[in-house]
Amino acid sequence: MMPVDRTRDGSAGNGGRTLSPHNSSLLAEIGGQNRAFRAGSLPLAHYQAFIAARTGLFENDGSGIRGAAAALDAEFEHILYAVEESGQHAEAIVAAEGFLSRFS
């Protein structure tokens, strides 16, 4: 199992639990999509659909990543429909970076 990094205050972002190898590989896929989104080569709608498709694939390994991925999917959906287009990219980056930093 992959150890989980600590948050800025030194506490484990997910209660100190580790990710299963399967969940680690899904997280790596999301990280790749995040890099593409940040670079501007992936629209937010496609990134959100990618997260939605992966959410149910996470194992319940005690890390909380499955619920966090579902929350990220919901946040992306909110950003898509409730935030002005000019602010969507920045808000989605903040949301995704928060998710990724919690588990990677």
The string of pLDDT tens digits covering residues 7-41 is 433 334 555 678 999 999 999 999 999 999 999 99
Rounded Cα distance between 13 and 20, Å, is 16
Say whether pLDDT at 6 is over 80.
Answer: no
Q: So what's the pLDDT on residue 56?
A: 96
| DSSP category for residue 14 | T
The single residue listed with the structure tokens 């800025």 is 8
Work out the pLDDT band at 104, boundaries 50, 70, 90.
confident
Mean pLDDT score of the chain: 88
Using an 8 Å Cβ cutoff, are 50 and 33 in contact? Answer: yes
Nearest to 25 by CA among 53, 59, 49, 48: 59
C-alpha count within 13 angstroms, C-beta hemisphere, residue 44:
24
Please compute the mean of the pLDDT values over residues 33-54 and round it to a whole number: 97
Q: Could you tell me the pTM of the whole model?
A: 0.83
Work out the pLDDT band at 3, boundaries 50, 70, 90.
very low
